[in-house]
Amino acid sequence: MNLEDYRRVFIIGSLVLMLIAASPTLGLVVQLPSRGGRFSEFWVLDPNHMAEDYPFEVRANESYSVFVGVENHIGTSAYYLIYVKVRNQTQALPNAISSEPSPLAPLFEFRAFVADGGTWEVPITFGVLGVSRYDDSVYVSRVSINDVVSVLNCSALWDSQYKGFYYQLFFELWLYNMASENFQFHDRFVAIWLNLTV
């Protein structure tokens, strides 16, 4: 080795030692990207825990079941509220872009504390009650969700394109906000279509 090679080794070695010595301070200044975003996973599954055989053709006074669940990836424990709602094809769904829930009244609710990385899931049994048909519309006066009967009073018009009377069972996810001390819509909802053509 010549003098120039020793000089390069000395400079490189000095730079490495300076970086090692300065690493605690650099950690305060340089922010590395996080390992993905913080979010809540939200789902509805069929009775077999799949996403393929949802109840669709439903009849009055019969029971159907699905599973609804949430998985917490927000970095801390979370307190969730899930509203169960039903709408016809003209009523408003939640708008996740503007963070607005559906204006429809909830028919049922669930609350759950979920640890970070934890999962919560619950079976839902539902049915439509008090169904009447008037020419080109079907009227549903009540729904049953986990054996609790709620007033719905909602009609659906005949859909000539898809040949049916359609309702949508949907679930809104809300998250407790510690700062405001109340639940806020968490920009997530899941839904299944129901055809009441009998």
pLDDT band at 13 (very low <50, low <70, confident <90, very high): low
For residues 4-24, average pLDDT: 65
16 lies in the same domain as 45: no
Residue 21 sits in which domain range? 1-32
27 lies in the same domain as 44: no
138 lies in the same domain as 176: yes
The residue that leads in pLDDT, 27 or 50, is 50
* DSSP symbols for 77-140: -EEEEEEEEEEETTSPPPBTTTTB--SSPPSEEEEEEE-TT-EEEEEEEEEEEEEEEETTEEEE
78 lies in the same domain as 28: no
Q: What is the pLDDT of residue 194?
A: 97
For residues 100-115, average pLDDT: 97
Query: For the chain, what is the domain count?
Result: 2
Q: What is the pLDDT of residue 1?
A: 65
